[in-house]
Amino acid sequence: MKKLFFIPVSLLLFFNIGCNTLKNIGLVPSELEMAMGLKDALSQGLFKGFDAFANPDGNPLVRFIFPGEAAKIEKTLRDLGFDKTINQVTGKFTSAMSSAVAVSKPVFLEAVKSMTIKDAAKILVTDNTHAATDYFKQEMKPGLMAGFRPIIDSTIKTEGADKEWSGITNIYNSIPFINKPLENSLTDFISARVIDLMFVMVANEEEQIRSKYELRKTDMMKKVFTWAEGELKKRIQKN
């Protein structure tokens, strides 16, 4: 009789375990674990970006483009016979962007390391597949820009791209009926472009991590994103 009584009571206790108890036995990640899992995902995305910039010839996305009406500006200059000059300056700026990203790795990684995510659960359990990236971008872009500008500026000058760009702007701005002349300095433009491209790659990686278990490379990512995936399914089923 004792044995028969023990089984249903045990089952009853098991199925009535509260959320706090689940956290204690590790089924539900703590807020700290959620934040750590998110940081792992962001870092994984950043390293994908570093790899892309390390080989810009293999990825058109990370090559330099002209500011503003890029295609129109480039076509105008090429139509005037400045193909060689265009190729030279775009090549140097692409190289400068690649070099700057390599130098600035600690800036990006420190931004992830130092960020605090108060609403980690909300960022995890959502149908926005790049919610963590959006949060990271909103919170960290101003600081990243401040740290990135001197790196970009120095790299552009080292590559000699500033002098090449000066020649391009003089040519383009001398063309009659140009409504929007090119700016002489591209430090802010390139800084913002590189940072935005890094966020694009982080967002792509976050989306993959959320949907594919095999891309969750750390134990913490596996724990928090698997939990989040289950919670989101429950939420969808309720609605």
What is the distance between the alpha carbons of residues 34 and 41, in angstroms, rounded to a whole number?
Answer: 11
The alpha carbons of the chain give a radius of gyration, in whole angstroms, of 25
pLDDT value, residue 21: 42
pTM comes to: 0.81
Which pair of tokens denotes residue 77?
């200059």
More confident site: 1 or 29: 29
Mean pLDDT, the chain, as a whole number? 85
Q: What is the DSSP string of 127-187?
A: S-TTHHHHHHHHHHHHHHHHHHHHHHHHHHHHHTHHHHHHHHHHHHHTSTT-SSPPPS--H
User: Confidence band (pLDDT; 50, 70, 90) for 23?
Assistant: very low
What is the distance between the alpha carbons of residues 84 and 143, in angstroms, rounded to a whole number?
Answer: 37
The proportion of the chain whose per-residue pLDDT surpasses 90, expressed as a percent, equals: 38
Residue pair 206/124 in contact by the 8 Å Cβ criterion: no
Q: Is the model's pLDDT at 233 over the cut of 60?
A: yes
Q: Is the model's pLDDT at 34 over the cut of 50?
A: yes
pLDDT value, residue 13: 41
User: Confidence band (pLDDT; 50, 70, 90) for 198?
Assistant: very high
